[in-house]
Structures are given as structure tokens and as C-alpha cells.
Chain A
Amino acid sequence: MPEIVFDNVEKSFGAVRVLEPFNLHLDDSEFTVLVGPSGCGKSTTLRILAGLETLSGGEITFDGKPISHLDPKARDIAMVFQDYALYPHMNIARNMSFALRLAKVSKSEIDDRVKRTAELLNIAHLLDRKPAELSGGQRQRVAMGRAMVRDAGTFLFDEPLSNLDAKLRAKMRTELAEMRNTIDKNMVYVTHDQVEAMTLGDRIVVMANGRIQQQGTPEELFKSPVNRFVAGFIGSPTMNFLDGELTEADGALRVRGDGFDLPLPEALATRGRAHAARTVTLGLRPSSVTLDTVPGAEIELRVVVSEYLGAQSVLVTRCGDEEVLVEANSATPIAPGTTRAFGVLTDELMIFDRESGLRI
């Protein structure tokens, strides 16, 4: 359970820079989620931490001790792979005990630990089978069991749920969240699914293009994203972005664009005034748009599609040429094709510099 510090770590494959130099501090017994779109460098970061890739610069320390020169086995790390990577010629019990057998743990202790872990994961009845005879979900459990049985200080998960179907994924996600509370270890989890990141992570690190965009608790990322990318990545349905301009009228700062003209709340207006740029992008969460009209803060939207999800509906609407998603209570039926005014909760508005993408 070391305290893991990335100090100016960078990685290039030949001439291609896949990770810009970055610093990252993972506290003891913290569940960290690295999240980002494909090719953002999150898996590479994990593999560097695991020792499967070498780093091109910088250093990683565990409790202050540099470890980047060490073999994976010397780092006290267990890893769950995206596509399970079970040894197909060994049965489940032998798969799980492989590391212990290599470490020359006594046979009785191996049996004991395998049995205990298998019971914890509900795979005790599968111990004699081969991986090929198992379903995807069962294989995933075995892969996790293989990591857990070792009792390593740090657990790494490389998109462990991405090969499961939606229902199983939700179930395993819950189980993982439960496991996180009972196991006192460092866990680093890589995913491209922001829902997984939000539900599991104590700390989320959002990555894109080989850079860390932002790190923080799920709430911090949702409520105060540093830039447009993070704002668009975190939250479901995704945030709407509308290009507009800041204008001053009657002492109030407003953001005006094609089909909307909204007042900004005082705090945001102060920051907006201090900001030189006038061309901005308005960020509007689907949940910030309501069916009830709000006096003075309204937006005219034409409903294109209504996606019924049960209690909630997601309305796909148009504001000018831009698409705007609205999360609405499905009790009020809205027919596609109608144009009506929606209220906007201006307190939840965000504005971004259109050039740099940074939040103002």
C-alpha cells in the first residue's frame, strides 16, 4: 500500500510522444481512475506503473523509493488485464495459484488462499475447470481472483469490464465498488467509460492526447471542470456546447448566440468581465435545462427526437444549427417537431474560452 508518485514521467515510442511529462500523486489506499478516450495514454501510464513498459524520462517512486528500474515482480503489484489473459492450459485453481507457486508459498497456504478468494468471488465451484469452459463474466472474476489471491500492495485494472455485456458490467461495477470499500489497497483503474470512473473512483484523472487534463474527486470534475474537454467528458448525457459572445447590457453580463440570449449569474459575470476574450463557448448541462420556464432565462428549442428512458427522457433538440440535449421528466409528453421555450438554471452555466477551451 505504498504512496505512489509520478515525477515528470514521460513516454515516447520512437519519435512519437505518447505521454507528455506529468506529475501525479496517488495517496495510500486510494482508488484512482484514469479515464479518457482511446489513445489518450491512460493504458500506457498503467503499463509503465506495472513495469511492462519502460519510461522515457522521469521517475516513479513508491513511498519515496524509485522503482522504475525494477521488474514487475519486484514492485508488489497485481494486475487485471482487459482481455483476462488466463492461462488456457491450467485450470482455474492453478491459474489463480500461479503467482503463489512461483513465489514458493507452501501448498497448504496456497490452497487456503485460493479457496478463500474463490468463495469471495463466487467461483469456488469452477476451480477444476479450464478457462475455455467459462463464460465471460466468470473469466473476469477469475482474472480478478488471480490478482487478489496474491495480496499485493497495489492493484492495477486495465479496462477490466469493457468486454462484458451491459448488464454484467453494471453488476461487476457494483461488486468492484463494494470490494473497494473492504480491501485496503492502492488501486489504479483504467477505463474509457466515465460512468465507471465516477462510480468507482476516489480520485479521477482525466487524460487526453497524452496529457493529464484534470484530476480530482468525481464531484470536483463534474462541478468545476478546468476545460471544455473535461466538461464534455464527465457527465451523462454529455454537456451541450453553444458558441456565443459575451455582451454587457443594463449592467448585467449576458452570453448571446444563435438562438439564445442568457444572463450570467453574478459570480460567473465577474469572472467573465475580467476575461479579455469575448468569444466564448457556453456549456449547458442537459440537466440544467427544464421544462418549467424561468423568467428572464429561457431558450427556444425545437425538439427533434425524444428518447424515452423511463422516468426520464432525453430530448434531442436544436438551437439554431446546434444540437442540444435536454434531460426532462418523461411525465410531460413532448411530441417531436414542437418548438417551445425551456427554462435554464443559470447557476449551473459554464463558459469556456473558445480559443483555449479553458473554463472562465
Chain B
Amino acid sequence: MAARDTNAPNPAFYALLVALVVMSAGPIVLMLATSFKLNVDIMSSTAGLFFMPTIQNYETALCDMLWYEVEHIRRCDPTFGRALVNSLIVATVSTALTLIIGCMAAYALVRFRFMGRDTVSMTTLMMRMVPPAVLLVPVFGIWTFQYGIDGTRMGLILIYTAMNLPFVVWILQSFIVQVPIQLEEAARMDGANPFQTFFLVVLPLIKPGLAAAAIFTFRVAWNEFLLGNALADRNSRTVPVTIVNSLTEYDIDWGVIMATGMLLAVPPIIFTFVASRQIITGMTAGAVKG
């Protein structure tokens, strides 16, 4: 009897699970369903799960990128398509920049002895503690009045790189520490200069760390709203900013917004899948006697 009691599934436990699943998956399901509905279906009071699915909303969002003429709209509004391109460029370039600068900075912090090394290491981490909202006003001022790079993709790339760099440096440090120092010494003996040692020996071994950092950086750059909203203009807006800006008091096209939302979710998923394939353990197996 006692055994049965402990093994018996507790209905409350399942209820909790269901509640959690609904809370997390519900909005996504709702968004997915809505993105396939016409506005009449969305707004109708008899709205439900039964509707005629349509890809019209997606066609509207991507109208200027499709190879065929979309019939149901009179004028193609390029806002969403442009925002997607902006988002892709900003996120990819800032991720690449962050990784390139981050891995070199992390390597220097781990392997080189120089004055103020620990201070730099600590400060890097503390930069991470500054909330973006605090950065907003000064960054806007500097970007606009000093450099005039507000409203450009370059401006966004720059601030996202700066925001993500501390974390990337910090996470890559822990990966670089694990690369056996003998490998670098062997490379030096083989005639490699510091750059060759780093790029040919160390970098291939910290690929898992780079992948983890890339996933993180890409997601942050992709989803960022606050600074994007302040710095971007009409032509450089990213998707999150565009979505919010299309909620006007005159017209809210829920179907297109939801379709854009779904499209917004796809690139990070693909990126994560690709990058996470690089996260394999045992990269340094066989290097030195364990």
C-alpha cells in the first residue's frame, strides 16, 4: 500500500503541468492561429478555432519580397519586409563583431599578464549590470549629436555589440582557461606567433563557447526594443520596433502583426539550431594526458 501511495500520480501535479504549458505555449498558439486568420475572423465575436486558414497576412508582411504580385492588397507597404532585413543585418553583424572582438579580448585577459588585468576583467562584468534603460539617454545624445549615427543600422550594431561584449568576454574566458597551456607552448615551439597560436590552435578548441556566446548575442540583438526604438528611424527600424509602431490609434492590423511576430521567431530558432550543433563536449580530448 505504501508503495502505491508514493507512486500514485498526484492530480494536482498534472494540473500544475497543464497550467504551465498553457501559460507558456498558449500565447504562441494564439499568435500562430491569429496569423492565419483574416481580420474579419479575428474581430468577429464568434471567433474560435474554426476558421479558413489563409496566408494573406504573411503575403502582406512580405509583399515586397515575394516573386509574385499579391492580389489582395492595393498598395504594398514595405515596412515589415524592410524591418526583417534590418533585423537580420543588425543581429548578424553585431553578433559577428561581438564574437571577433570578444574572443580576442577574452584571450588577452586569460593569457597575458598586464597591469590592471583583474580590474579590466571585473569592470567588464560590471558593465553587464548597467540596465539598458540607463544607457538610453546618454547613448541617444552621443549617437545623435556627437557622431550623427542615429537612425542608421551602424548605430544599432555598435550599441548592441557594446552591450553584449561584456557577457561574451566573460563566458569565453572560462572556455579559454580550459585550453591546456601546453598546446599553446607546443604551437610556440612550432614557430607560431601569438596570432597564429590564437587563430589556429585556441580558436578551433573554443568553438562550443563561441557557439553558446553567438546564440546569446544573436537573441539579445534580435529582440532588443528599447534602444532600437530610440535610435532607429523609419528606414533602420528592426522588427520589434516596427511591430510596436504599427499599433496606431487608427488602425491595428492584428493579422499582419501576428504574422510578423511568427516570422520574427523563425530566424533565432534556425540560428540556435545551427549554432548548437557546434556545442559538443570533449573538444580537447586527446590533447594532453588527462
List the interface of chain A (C-beta within 8 A of B). Answer: 50-52, 71-73, 77-79, 81-89, 98-99, 102-103, 130-134, 136, 139, 146, 150, 163
Contact = CB atoms under 8 A, between A and B. Distances in A.
Contacts of B289: 82-84, 136, 163
Interface stretch (B5-13, B160-168, B177-185, B251-259): B177-185
Q: Which of B189, B282, B287 has the most CB of A within 10 A?
A: B189
A130 B286 contact: yes
Interface string B164-208: 000000000000000010110111111111001000110011000
A146 B187 CA distance: 11
B21 interface: no
A87 B201 contact: yes
Interface of B: 180, 182-183, 185-193, 196, 200-201, 204-205, 282-289
Nearest to B180: A85
Given A131-B286, A131-B287, A134-B286, A85 B191 contact: no
A85 B183 contact: yes
Given A89-B205, A89-B283, A102-B196, A84 B189 contact: no
A88 B196 CA distance: 16
16 contacts: A51-B188, A73-B189, A73-B192, A78-B189, A81-B186, A81-B288, A84-B287, A85-B186, A86-B288, A88-B285, A98-B190, A98-B192, A99-B189, A99-B190, A99-B191, A136-B289
Nearest to B184: A85
Contact of A89 (B182, B193, B204): B204
A115 B60 CA distance: 63
Given A86-B287, A131-B286, A132-B285, 5 more contacts: A83-B180, A98-B187, A102-B190, A136-B289, A146-B186
A83 B284 contact: no
Contacts of A50: 189
Contact of A132 (B193, B200, B204, B286): B286
Contact of B189 (A79, A134, A139): A79
B113 to A, nearest CB: 12
A131 B282 CA distance: 12
B27 to A, nearest CB: 43
A81 B182 contact: yes
A224 B191 CA distance: 42
Nearest to B183: A85
Contacts of A103: 191
Contacts of A163: 289
A139 B190 contact: no
A145 to B, nearest CB: 13
A72 B286 contact: no
**Top-4 shortest CB links A-B:** A132-B286, A131-B286, A99-B190, A73-B191
Nearest to A139: B286
Given A84-B288, A132-B285, A133-B286, A72 B183 contact: no
Contact of A88 (B193, B200, B284): B284
A152 to B, nearest CB: 9
A72 B282 contact: no
A83 to B, nearest CB: 4
A86 B286 contact: yes
